[in-house]
Amino acid sequence: MKWTRISAVICVAAFCLAFAAQALATKYVALGDSYSSGTGTRTFYEPSCQRSVYTYPYLLHEAHPGWTFVDAACAGATTSSLLSSQVSSVTAETNWVTYTIGGNDAGFSHVITECALPSWLSNCNGAINEAQTFIKNTLPGRLDEVNNAIKSRAPEAEVIVLDYPRLFNGENCNAFTFFTASEEARLNETADLLKSVISAAAARAGSHFVFRDVIPAFIGHAVCDGGSGSSTEWINGLSNPTSESYHPKVAGHANGYYPAVHGVTG
């Protein structure tokens, strides 16, 4: 009888310990657009959203295999679609959240496509002007909506907010694109503008939100650095398929984005 009671106590204690461990498990949720899902890495474990094992979220998952990992990032995401189909993955048990968002809201893919055309077919400066106006006037409110939704669902979660690299180095090395040096400079300025707006929104969101700038890491590793397709180039230029174009390569995630995130989470 005594042994039965002792066994029961041990079993109950073991159950409590297991329950406590489960309750204390760290949960990490990756949100965002193609810069978080993995477009540009050319290998996808979930093709519809172009999620890849080579992205910074997946690398963070591999660095912490004991964490619960939810990859909700999806190519083409906007602030609206993040709110409608991704943020539900964030729960009260979430400890870490990462995201990139805003580039699609500003129509950056359209801008790049427009600027890649020959000058007599292109309205590059007009497209850049329109995007910059949107980024200054409309995007801040949309980013606040995203941050407020995350806070409401997981008030204690630590949120790492990331920006977008400058894509160009002033050179056009692809025979099928027609970027001028001045257009590339303006496109890089637009990345800088996105940085300032995204970082300001993160600051408004409060102490649980931290902004990390990836622009410095990509200096010297833009499109055409080292020649098209080189190992020095961490961002795809015009690619086949075209959806891979102007997105971080495997090296861009490993050497540009991942260190910025891992520097916060450890």
What are 92-128's pLDDT values in tens digits? 999 999 999 999 999 999 999 999 999 999 999 999 9
For 124: left if phi > 0, alpha if psi spans -120 to 50, otherwise beta; the answer is: alpha
Q: How many whole angstroms separate alpha carbon 173 and alpha carbon 32?
A: 30
Ranges 20-24, 173-177, 188-192, 253-257: which has the least confidence: 20-24
**Selected catalytic residue, list 7, 34, 84, 228:** 34
Q: Which pLDDT belongs to residue 23?
A: 43
Q: Which pLDDT belongs to residue 114?
A: 97
What are 1-49's pLDDT values in tens digits? 444 443 433 344 444 434 334 446 999 999 999 999 999 999 999 999 9
What's the DSSP call for residue 222?
S
Per-residue b/e over 144-163, b at no fewer than 16 CB within 10 Å? ebbbebbbebbeebbbbbbb
Residue 119: active-site member: no
Q: How many CA atoms lie within 13 A of 198 on its CB side?
A: 27
Q: Which pLDDT belongs to residue 14?
A: 44
Number of helices followed by number of strands (H, E) in the chain: 11, 5
Residue 34: active-site member: yes
Supply the pTM of this predicted model.
0.91
**Selected catalytic residue, list 37, 61, 245, 247:** 247
Q: Which pLDDT belongs to residue 6?
A: 37
Structural domains in the chain, CATH included, are 26-265 (3.40.50.1110)
